[in-house]
Structure 1
Amino acid sequence: MAEPTLAIIAGAGVLPRMLSQALRATGREHLICCPHGLEPELPDNESTEVEEFFFERSISFFRSLEKRGIRQVVMVGKFHRPRSINFMRLEGSTLMAAPRILGSLRRGDDASLRALAEIIEELGLEVVGVEAVAPNLLPEPGLYASRVPSETDRSDVERAAYIVEAISAVDVGQGAVVAGGLCLATESLPGTDAMLEWVAQTRDQPPAGTRSGVLYKAPKLDQDRRMDLPAIGPTTVAKAAAAGLAGIAWEARGALLLDAERTMAEADRLGMFLWARPSLR
């Protein structure tokens, strides 16, 4: 068995499991590592031990990966900003890098992830994205449920795509909800689920038995696509349905379809469309 040259830095959610399965299917050996306190979801038969590391000692941890023959790092899943730092645990090398990381947190998620990637690469590792190691996880253009979007749906998707592009220019969010050409909500720090819950609580619901409006998701303008790609999964479908939406669209090859079979089956059950749409540009 070949020694692993790739390490997955695993956040919360199903994506670490999906990526590990995709890598194993191609025979790519890998390590799985996660920040202290996170419990990534892994396959039931996953034999790889998860290595945990502390934020306060992250620089020495990444240096140890390089010394062990790891050449590439891919960061997937949901990561939470550190709410506090244990100064008793803090090492000197991480202390020197902390101002760069903590300072970037004030400029948005993309800025903070870029800063972290730069630091990791300064330690001799290459930060890669899902597209580089498991491109099949990014859906190609097409429909992924039985329902076909109407002309009104397509118009709403186009409107939402331009709105997402506008808010992404200031590193705010990756999603928007539009119905009848009107923007009902845009994604911000609380995330997609919170946005959809707010729409469900505040919008005028369409007549019984009908749906209207769309959720659209896409990477931010000039986003570093190695990290924090938008994702759609079963929970997204359920919350979009509760908000009365007709379907979900996203930028093809720019978003991840989580638990694809479950997500597509749920969309079919609820009578919603799933559309991987070519990008605006």
Structure 2
Amino acid sequence: MSRIALIAGQGLLAPAVAACLDDPLIYALEGFAPEGLAATPFRLERLVPFLDDLHDRGVTRVVFAGAIRRPRLDPEAFDPRTAQLVPRILTAMQSGDDAALRTVLDIFEENDLTICSIREIAPDLIPAAGVLTGQPTDADKRDMHRASQILAQTGPLDLGQGAVVAQGLCLALETLPGTAAMLDFAARHADLRPNPTGARGVLFKAPKPGQDLRIDLPTLGPDSVDQAAAAGLAGLTWAAGQVILLDRAEMVRRAEAAGLFLWAVDASEVAQG
């Protein structure tokens, strides 16, 4: 019988995806166990035996969900077959997160495992185009477009998946520390807006140009709304059909309470890289 394996990372996404699956086998890279979800650990240094074990358990499909960081590799822990992949893995890791993820996907597929996207497994987590609550102004729309232009240019450099723009100026750009750190930075520099009574600014999230959409989609959740409110922003915007919302109902509730809008932006309005 064919089974699906969930490779779970940290955060709330993995439990949300697990809830959409029927009896999945759940695994996590050692050191990155998901909260509130029982997962069998595995090590990258023993990747090939892990893939063999998936086959032995009847797994044919794999879905990745949740956050991980690049693990520290122990040269002495590699088994002989995985050791043959070391030059390939290390080269990819040195080339950036996107290259590393693509290499991992390639290795899984070369071992006859199909990679499923979150959009296939849990489509309700990824909203289509439209305003969920509130109403962006023309100035907010201009700031969204500016932010999408910035991401279209920085994406090929393998930076983050988010930017904060207010009054046409970039207040913060997402890098390795993540969305929360970006919004905290924007909050601490909110006084840089040229017009204190002008447009408050927006957060925009989108995958990097050319990113494999089966893995590492941008994610927003209720905490993102709180952090955007603390940064004095007018709303959260994202590329429709390409960003995961965790607990959409709670995001809407908090946005309405804080007076923020939530807008899934149609692809025709998003700058392309």
TM-score by length of 1: 0.89
Superposition deviation, residue 142 in structure 1: 1.2
| Contact 1:205/1:244 (<8 A) preserved | no
Distance 1:158 1:204 in 2: 22
3-state DSSP of counterpart to 1:237: helix
Q: Distance in 2 between matches of 1:88 and 1:110?
A: 26
| 1:43-122 mapped onto 2 (5 Å cutoff) | 49-82=38-71, 84-122=72-110
For residue 59 of structure 2, what is the amino acid of its counterpart? I
Note the residue ranges of structure 1 that are not aligned, 5 or more in a row: 44-48
Counterpart pick for 1:271 among 238, 241, 259:
259
Cα contact 2:166–2:199 (8 A) shared by 1: no
Read off the aligned partner of 2:86 and give its amino acid letter: A
Structure 2 counterparts to residues 227-246 of structure 1, below 5 A: 227-246=215-234
Distance apart, 1:89 and its partner CA: 2.7
Instruction: Provide the C-alpha distance between the structure 1 equivalents of 2:20 and 2:259, rounded to a whole number of angstroms.
Output: 29
* Aligned 1:122-141 pairs, distance under 5 A: 122-141=110-129
Moved over 4 A (4+): 205-211
CA distance in 2, matches of 1:213, 1:65: 47
Is the counterpart of residue 187 in structure 1 residue 174 in structure 2? yes
Total equivalences in the alignment: 268
Note the C-alpha offset of 1:270. 1.0
Deviation at 1:4, TM superposition (A): 5.2
Is 2:143–2:201's contact at 8 Å kept on the other side of the alignment? yes
Tell me how far 1:86 sits from its aligned partner: 2.8
Preserved contact between residue 167 and residue 199 of structure 2 (Cα < 8 Å)? no
Scaled by the length of structure 2, the TM-score of the pair is: 0.91
The answer to which of 208-217 and 268-277 deviates more is: 208-217
Give the Cα separation in 2 of the matches to 1:176 and 1:20. 29
Structure 2: distance between partners of 1:209 and 1:273: 18
Task: Name 1:41's counterpart in structure 2.
Answer: 35
Deviation (angstroms), 1:119? 0.8
* 2:1 matches 1:7: no
CA distance in 2, matches of 1:77, 1:50: 13
Hey, what does 1:220 align to over in structure 2? 208
1:202 and 2:196 correspond: no
| Amino acid paired to 1:8 | L
Deviation at residue 156 of structure 1 after TM alignment: 0.7
The offset of 1:259, in angstroms, is 2.0
The whole-number CA distance in structure 2 between the counterparts of 1:75 and 1:155 is: 34
Preserved contact between residue 11 and residue 39 of structure 1 (Cα < 8 Å): yes
Match of 1:46 in 2: none
CA gap 1:33/1:224 in 2 versus in 1, 3 angstroms: same
What is the CA distance between 1:208 and its match in structure 2? 9.2
Residue 203 (structure 1) shift:
2.6
- Unaligned runs of at least 5 residues, structure 2: none
2:15 corresponds to which of 13, 17, 41: 17
Offset at 1:189? 1.7
Distance 2:40 2:135 in 1: 44
CA deviation after TM superposition for structure 1 residue 65, in Å: 0.3
- 1:29 maps to what in 2? 23
